[in-house]
């Protein structure tokens, strides 16, 4: 399980910096899971590529994290990424520079929003309490920024473009980006054709972007993410007779975390640290819709577990040579069985 097996050269100019105006206009590389055959299509073609009885499983999480900028009292720039509201007006936040934000420190954010540090946690996290008792939530809505991934270097003019059209459950720090290509019209067309849909929830954490640092990537410590498998989705998966297609690696991780055997799951809720790779391949899903990922990441290891490392490497070389757009706002890849 060598890190070199999931590495490739990613030209910086292929990293998409903004979404297309039309969600469904993305290109889509289709990789045959068993044949390694490659087709170059567009995302709209997904309606003709899927069959009646296929099951699409989507992650319905909603990005609720908010990025704030300001200064601590006494001087010094401060940045805070609000991760979770623990009680009214109190948030767990990832902060910079955390070492200067001790308990009792006051921060003046943009727009007149102010907060106090209530507690310190590992990894640069702090508990912040907003001091504007009457209107802090209004101010937060006005000055809070979309927490885009670190490889995107420009602001997003339309915040909803970093949400899927079916986003519902708040709790994520990043979007499940494979789902960004869907429109309500395409979902309606798929359902009209007889393609079934179901939903799971996985709260996407910041460690999603953390590259593997160990040469044997099995030594990589997996981060924990909260996920839910509803009873209705478990029933849909367990009765599925055609392809089970995960929309995104987060959906795949959720499905496989609740695996009860080949093409079988059990409902429930947990914090998952599952690591899917060639030595631990998916047992429930047989197809996957995803975006193009950073080199040396657990997501690439998952793809190698599903379709084989050589097949994935060839597909990525093809995507680079054909100038596909990469990462969160980039094009799609469909690993399709059968």
One pLDDT digit (tens) per residue for the chain, 338 residues: 789 999 999 999 999 999 999 999 999 999 999 999 999 999 999 999 999 999 999 999 999 889 999 999 888 999 999 988 888 889 999 999 999 999 999 999 988 899 999 999 988 899 999 987 668 888 888 888 888 988 999 888 888 999 999 999 998 989 999 999 999 999 999 999 999 999 999 999 877 767 888 888 888 988 889 999 999 999 999 999 999 999 999 999 999 999 999 999 999 999 999 999 999 999 999 999 999 999 999 999 999 999 999 999 999 999 999 999 999 999 999 999 99
CA neighbours closer than 13 Å in the CB half-sphere of residue 300 = 28
pTM: 0.91
CA distance 245 to 251: 9
182 CB burial (10 A radius; 0-12, 13-18, 19+):
buried
Cα dihedral angle (191, 196, 201, 202), rounded to 10 degrees? -100
Phi (first) and psi of residue 61, to 5 degrees: -65, 155
Residue 334's SS3 state is strand
CA–CA separation, 178 and 292 (whole Å): 9
CB 139 within 8 A of CB 112: yes
Structural domains in the chain, CATH included, are: 3-63+159-336 (3.40.1780.10), 66-143 (2.40.10.240)
**Cα 87-91-94 angle, rounded to 5 deg:** 155
Q: What is the DSSP letter of 305?
A: H
Q: Token pair for residue 260?
A: 């009860």
The CA distance from 300 to 7, in Å, is: 8
CA distances from 45 to 30, 42, 207, 287 (A): 10, 6, 32, 16
d(CA 9, CA 11): 6
């Amino acid at each position: 399980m060598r890190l070199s097996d999931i590495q490739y050269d990613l030209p910086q100019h292929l990293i998409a910096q903004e979404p297309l105006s039309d969600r469904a206009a993305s290109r889509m590389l289709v990789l045959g899971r068993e044949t390694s055959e490659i087709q170059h299509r567009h995302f709209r073609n997904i309606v003709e590529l899927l069959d009646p009885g296929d099951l699409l499983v989507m992650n319905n999480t909603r990005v609720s994290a908010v990025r704030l900028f300001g200064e601590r009292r006494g001087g010094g720039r401060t940045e805070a990424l609000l991760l979770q509201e623990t009680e009214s007006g109190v948030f767990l936040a990832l902060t910079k520079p955390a070492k200067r934000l001790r308990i009792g420190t006051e921060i003046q954010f943009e727009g007149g929003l102010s907060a106090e540090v209530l507690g310190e946690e590992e990894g640069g996290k702090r508990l912040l309490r907003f001091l504007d008792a009457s209107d802090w939530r209004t101010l937060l809505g006005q000055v809070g920024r979309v927490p885009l991934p670190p490889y995107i270097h420009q602001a997003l003019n339309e915040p909803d473009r970093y949400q899927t059209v079916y986003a519902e459950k708040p709790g994520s720090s990043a979007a499940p980006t494979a789902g960004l290509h869907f429109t309500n019209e395409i979902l309606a067309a798929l359902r009209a054709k007889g393609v079934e849909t179901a939903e799971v929830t996985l709260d996407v954490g910041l460690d999603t972007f953390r590259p593997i640092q160990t040469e044997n990537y099995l030594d990589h410590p997996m981060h924990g993410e909260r996920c839910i498998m509803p009873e209705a989705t478990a029933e849909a998966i367990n009765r599925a007779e055609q392809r089970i297609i995960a929309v995104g690696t987060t959906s795949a991780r959720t499905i496989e975390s609740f695996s009860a055997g080949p093409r079988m799951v059990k409902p429930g809720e947990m914090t998952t640290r599952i690591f899917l790779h060639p030595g631990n391949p998916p047992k429930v899903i047989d197809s996957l819709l995803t975006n193009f990922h950073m080199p040396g990441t657990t997501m690439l290891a998952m793809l190698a577990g599903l379709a084989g490392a050589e097949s994935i490497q060839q597909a990525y070389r093809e995507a680079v040579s054909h100038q596909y757009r990469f990462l969160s706002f980039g094009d799609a890849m469909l690993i399709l069985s059968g």
